[in-house]
Amino acid sequence: MWPDDRMLDRASELGRILSSQDDDLVAEAELGQREARAFAAVIYAHQLSITIGQCVRDLELIAKAAEPEDLGNRVEFLPL
């Protein structure tokens, strides 16, 4: 598995948004915000605060309503 900083860099290179339940990835994205580094959006859902169904519905809503460039350099938390 790749380290969080490399995964975030690779997603950014590909223009992809990351969805995760990993606190460390959120910390890496927040570090990127503080250092003003451009990165792909991170959508975070704590595994104990959302059902799988709700997570899928929220991710679908984000996918239909936003473009990756609209969410860049942001951390979004689920549930919405």
pLDDT digits (tens, 9 = 90+) for 33-56: 999 999 989 999 999 999 999 999
Give the number of domains in the chain: 1
> The domain containing residue 56 runs over which residues?
4-78
Please, what is the Cα angle at 6 between 75 and 41, to 5 degrees?
A: 20
pLDDT of residue 68 exceeding 80:
no
| Structure tokens belonging to residue 26 | 């959120």
> CA-to-CA distance for 65 and 51, rounded, in angstroms?
21
Q: What is the pTM of this model?
A: 0.88
Contact criterion met (CB below 8 Å) for 43 and 17: yes
Task: Give the pLDDT confidence score for residue 67 in this predicted structure.
Answer: 85
Mean per-residue pLDDT for 23-31? 94
**Under DSSP, is residue 51 helix (H, G, I), strand (E, B) or coil?**
coil
